[in-house]
Amino acid sequence: MGTVRRSNPGGSGDPFQDRQQDRPGARRGLRAVVLASLLVCVALLGAGSLIVTMTNGGLTLGMANAANVSKSTTSSNVAGSTQQADGPDIIPTCDCQTTQASHQTLQLSGVGKEIMVSLSKQEMYAYLDGQLQFAYPVVTGRSELPTPIGHWHVQYKEQNITFYSPFPKGSGFWYYPTHIHYALNFHDGGYYLHDAWWRCVFGPGANTPHYASCMDEGDPPNRGPAPFSGNETGSHGCIGMTIPEAENLYNWAPVGTSVFVVP
């Protein structure tokens, strides 16, 4: 209305009269403006709907694909993690680098026989009523297959058993059937404290890739010591030590002994 009024400077000074005089033209102009506006709105709404539909479709498809990938990846990981090993090196069945155990639960009680294994120091400590009885350098799991952190217990003990690799030949984790002299199981899934007679290095750095050159202990009565020169790394999750040390631990720790694995 104001525009129409302003567009008619020759009209009277009465705004109403100006409106009366311009009504037919105003109506036609208004209709044209309304029609044009409607056409523009329809066009915009149509384009907007198309854009929204395409955008939503794209987002829906992306989310579905992401969900499928996530499920597929999770299933693969779970399937891999459920494999269990009887051997000296195992496939972990847990998130072994984290634990729900608090620092308090990973502390010695000071009562009876207790074993503590430090992953950072690669050392095992045996305590009786809070007093250190002996300590041995050990080797624990490599980064891909770590030793589970937490408060565990010796569940059972075995002598002169054979561990078999759960990994197929050709896998980087496969190993030959291995005779073990002394083994103390401390966690479901094949986690043991045991002798690792084929190894050359125990203690700090034993669980990371390193070069070693030495005589191994041999596997009596199957074979004597033999020279080794090459690369070693950590275990597949077990805690290894020499034969004499494993024998001493085996004889010292009864079933039920607490085993604390700390970072």
**Averages of pLDDT over each 10 residues, the chain, 263 residues:** 32 32 44 50 40 31 26 27 36 41 74 98 98 98 96 97 91 92 96 96 97 95 94 95 98 98 97
Question: Are 71 and 128 part of one and the same domain?
Answer: no
Residue 94, pLDDT score: 41
Matching residue, tokens 């085996």 = 250
Residue 166, pLDDT score: 85
And the tokens for 163?
């561990």
Dist. CA 11–CA 7, nearest whole Å? 10
Would you say residue 95 lies in a domain?
A: no
And the tokens for 157?
């003990």
The pair phi, psi for residue 34, each rounded to 5°, is -60, -45
And the tokens for 203?
């203690």
Residue 27, pLDDT score: 45
Nearest to 130, CA basis, from 110, 114, 105, 104: 110
Would you say residue 88 lies in a domain?
A: no
Q: Cβ distance 259 to 154 under 8 Å?
A: yes
Q: What's the CA angle centered on 104, arms 124 and 146, to 5 degrees?
A: 45
Residue 36, pLDDT score: 54
Residue 31, pLDDT score: 54
> Domain tally for the chain?
2
Q: Cβ distance 115 to 262 under 8 Å?
A: no
Residue 85, pLDDT score: 33
Question: Are 137 and 206 part of one and the same domain?
Answer: yes
Print the domain residue range for 165: 113-262
